[in-house]
Amino acid sequence: MFLQCGNFRLPLARPLIMGVINVTPDSFSDGGRFFSAAAAVARARQLIDEGADLLDVGGESTRPGADPVTLDEERRRVLPVLEALADARVPLSVDTQKPELMSEAVAAGAAMVNDVNGFQAPGALAAVAGSACAICIMHKQGNPQTMQQSPQYVDVVTDVRDYLSQRIAAAEQAGIARSRMIVDPGFGFGKTLEHNLELLRRLDELAVLTVPVLAGLSRKSMIGKLTGRDPGDRLAGSIAAALFAVQRGAAIVRVHDVAATRDALAVWNAVNQD
Ligand code: HH2
């Protein structure tokens, strides 16, 4: 099985690592550390050296309570980083909800568009349909300002799966082949700790969608709640969660700590594939 990702064809025989580059002043775990284009590019090159299979570049924090960023500001943050990394040996993903930026990022060389809003904005699917880029369709309930106030589901796994199934159908109707799609249950996006644990425990139930699943658990507040640790100190908990996700079928893990995750997956792969 492969993921078509712009000019890349990513084999999915073993779990892949997506490294996170936050070009933001306010991301929950590393806000401000890679806010200049130079710092973000240096970080990206470091994560590639550490073994990232792809990189996700974002210019707008989506942590609970985060303020939205204007299109111009998000452009200023993201495009120079993508342009400087055009020669990278791994595919670049852009993490954005804005259709205009999706098109511009793909023109600047992004091979994937990752939308936490599931390409629901008018024009979002059209912005990516005409290219060869991959798309990551994520589930969230509500928006970052209010999403953690009182998330509610009948059955969180069924609700998330039904939503993703509808968005896959919408993307197919827009002319996007399934070989370009991945889906993501959106850990922490309008979910309580119990919702997140249920989703992780039953992640294999998303396999019926027959598109690869991405899991983003790295440093998230659910890890903080379980370990009592601040975001910068959640590596061990994040690795435990990433390993559980791949055990339950995740094809890609989205992480801040690439080298450590790579080591953990090397051990997991060796045990799993023999
Ligand atoms: N999580 C975050 C942002 N984008 N995209 C996908 N597909 N899945 C995720 O789980 C996901 C995501 C939040 O993490 P981070 O980018 O580190 O923080 P912030 O949104 O504060 O920049």
Report how far residue 25's alpha carbon sits from residue 255's, in angstroms, rounded to the nearest whole number: 18
Residues 170-201: pLDDT tens digits?
A: 999 999 999 999 999 999 999 999 999 999 99
pLDDT of residue 67: 87
Q: Residue 88, Cα to own-chain centre: how many angstroms? A: 19
14 is catalytic: no
* E-only strand ranges, 8-128: 8-11, 16-22, 54-58, 92-95, 112-115
Averaged pLDDT, 164-170: 98
Strand partners of residue 115: 137
Q: What is the mean pLDDT of the chain?
A: 96
Report how far residue 270's alpha carbon sits from residue 274's, in angstroms, rounded to the nearest whole number: 6
Share of residues in the chain with pLDDT > 70 (%)? 100
Ligand 1 pocket check for 93: Cβ under 6 Å: no
Ligand 1 pocket check for 22: Cβ under 6 Å: yes
Which of 63, 98, 219, 220 does the annotation list as catalytic? 220
Q: Using 50, 70 and 90 to split pLDDT, how confident is the model at 147? A: confident
254 is catalytic: yes
Ligand 1, pocket-test mutation among 27, 81, 135, most atoms within 8 A of CB: 27
- Give 248 Cα–ligand 1 centroid separation in angstroms: 20
Q: Using 50, 70 and 90 to split pLDDT, how confident is the model at 238? A: very high
Please name each of the domains of the chain with its CATH number.
2-271 (3.20.20.20)
Report how far residue 185's alpha carbon sits from residue 216's, in angstroms, rounded to the nearest whole number: 9
Nearest to 192 by CA among 165, 219, 227, 156: 156
pLDDT at 274 over 80: no
Ligand 1, pocket-test mutation among 17, 34, 54, 61, most atoms within 8 A of CB: 61
The verdict on pTM exceeding 0.85 is yes
pLDDT of residue 61: 94
SS3 category, 184: strand
Helices 235-247 and 193-201, axial angle in degrees (round to 10) = 40
pLDDT of residue 145: 80
Residues 65-74: pLDDT tens digits?
A: 888 999 999 9
* Spatial CB neighbours of 38, under 8 Å, sequence gap ≥ 6: none
pLDDT of residue 229: 98
